[in-house]
Amino acid sequence: MARVFNFSAGPATLPEAVLKQAAEEMLDWHGSGQSVMEMSHRGKEFMSIAAQAEADLRELMAIPANYKVLLLQGGASLQFAMIPINLLRGKASADYVHTGEWAKKAIKEAKQYGQVNVAASSEDKSFTYAPAQETWKLDKDAAYVHYTANETIGGVEFHWVPQTGDVPLVCDMSSNILSRPVDVSKYGLIYAGAQKNIGPAGLTIVIVREDLIGQVLPKTPVMLDYKTHAENESMYNTPPTYGIYIAGLVFEWLKQQGGLAAMEKHNRDKAALLYAFLDQSRFFVSPVAKADRSLMNVPFTLKKAELDEEFLKGAKSRGMIQLKGHRSVGGMRASIYNAMPVEGVRALVDYMKEFEAKHG
C-alpha cells in the first residue's frame, strides 16, 4: 500500500519511521510482553517512557530547569481557560494579541475570568499579517500577554518574539512548536496540542515557569490547577499514555534528524519551494503578507474558485489529501509540518504547475 502525502492541518502526518517503530512494538514493548496501551501508568515501564519523553523534549527545546513540563489533556482549547484561571494571580486584566481564529477563541474564553485588553489586532486586513510590536498597546499591570505564534487557519506566523518586559509572555505554539529553536526563557508559558507537530491528538503540552504556578482562582477544579499536575509529575490521574509514548518516539526522531536547528532548515527549504512557486504564479495566490508567512500552514487560492473541486480531485488522484482550505478562508491550505517530507511539497508544486498550465 502506498502512503499518501497528507497536508492536513491536524491531526497531521507523522514520521513514517515513528509509525513503523510503533507498529513493531505494538504487541510487545521492549520484551515486556504488553502493548504500551495496556501498561499501568505507574509501572516502571511506562514511567521510563514518560521520563525519557520529557528528558528528550527538554533537550530539544533547551528548557531551563525552572520550567515545568506538564503532559495534559483537553487540547489547546482547554488551555484557553486554564491560562486565565492560573495566571491572572489576583490581577484584573490580561493583554491579548488578536491575529485570527485561534486568538479569537483564546480571547473569548479569557473574558469569562477577567478583563481582556486587545493590545493589537490584524482584523483590519482579515488577519493576513502579524501586527508589528510598535503598534501594540501593552498594559504594564497586565497579568500576562498572550499571542498565537502561528495562526494555523490564516497561515500567519510570528518570525520574532514579542518583548513584554516583566509581564509574562504566554504563547499558543500548537502549530509551530518544535519547528525551529526557541528561547524558552523569554516565555512565562508555552502550550501546544500535540496533533499538529508532535504526535496523536489527546496530549497537550504545557511548559510553564515555576513561579507562575499556585495562585489559581477560588473554586478551581483540581484538574485545572497547574499545581496539581506539577506536583504529581503529570500523573495525578491517568495521563494519555499512548500519546505520550508516540510523542516520545517523535522527539527521538527529531534528535536523529539533528534537532530543531536542522528542522528549521528543512522547514524553510520546503516552504521556500511552495512560496517561490506561488510568487511567480498567475493562477495561484497567497493572501498573507510576505514577512509573516507561515512555514507550517500555507493557504492559497485559485484565481478561478469554480475550479477548487477539480483541483482537490486531481490532487487526491495523485495521492495528495487534505488540501481544502478552512471554511473561514476558502481556497486551499497545505500544512507542511516537520513530518512532511520535501518530496511531498515537490509533488504538490509539480501538480500546481501542471494545473496552471491547463487552466491558467
Catalytic residues: 102, 172, 196
Residue 116, beta-bridge partner list: 94
CA angle 203, 117, 220 (to 5 degrees): 45
Judged by CB under 6 A, does residue 172 bind ligand PLP?
yes
Q: CB–CB of 157/295 below 8 Å?
A: yes
95 interacts with ligand PLP by CB under 6 A: no
Query: Among candidates 344, 353, 350, which has minimal Cα distance to 335?
Result: 344
Alpha-carbon distance of 281 to 276, in angstroms, equals: 9
The residue (of 152 and 234) whose beta carbon lies closer to ligand PLP is 152
Q: Does 335 bind ligand PLP (CB under 6 A)?
A: no
Sheet holding 93-98, edge to edge: 67-72, 204-209, 189-193, 169-172, 145-148, 93-98, 115-121
Residue 148 touches ligand PLP, criterion: CB under 6 A: yes
Q: CB 140 → ligand PLP: shortest distance, Å?
A: 27
User: Applying CB under 6 A, which of residues 102, 136, 147, 337 lies at the interface with ligand PLP?
Assistant: 102
| CA dist 52 → 233, 282, 320 (Å) | 13, 49, 34
* # chain residues binding ligand PLP, by CB under 6 A: 12
The verdict on 174 binding ligand PLP (CB under 6 A) reads yes
Kindly state whether residue 154 participates in binding ligand PLP, applying the rule CB under 6 A: no
Closest residue to ligand PLP, Cβ-based? 75
Question: Looking at beta carbons only, is 54 or 157 nearer to ligand PLP?
Answer: 157
Q: Within 46-75, which residues bind ligand PLP (CB under 6 A)?
A: 75
Q: Which is nearer to ligand PLP, 234 or 281 (CB)?
A: 234
- Measured CA distances, 9 to 40, 114, 189, 306 (Å): 32, 31, 23, 23
Q: Nearest approach, Cβ of 139 to ligand PLP (angstroms)?
A: 23
Distances (CA, A) of 289 to 115, 142, 240, 273: 31, 29, 38, 17
**Residue 72 vs residues 22, 46, 219, 327: alpha-carbon distances, Å:** 21, 16, 20, 29
Taking the least distance from each CB to ligand PLP, the nearer of 159 and 316 is 159
Task: Give me the least distance between CB of 258 and ligand PLP, in Å please.
Answer: 25
Q: What's the CA gap between 253 and 250, in Å, rounded? A: 5
Identify residues 180-239 at the interface with ligand PLP (CB under 6 A).
193, 196
Which of 8, 21, 77, 93 binds ligand PLP (CB under 6 A)? It is 77
Q: Does 322 bind ligand PLP (CB under 6 A)?
A: no
- Lookup: cell for 228: 496539581
Instruction: Please report, as ranges, the residues that interact with ligand PLP according to CB under 6 A.
Output: 10, 75-77, 102, 148, 152, 172, 174-175, 193, 196
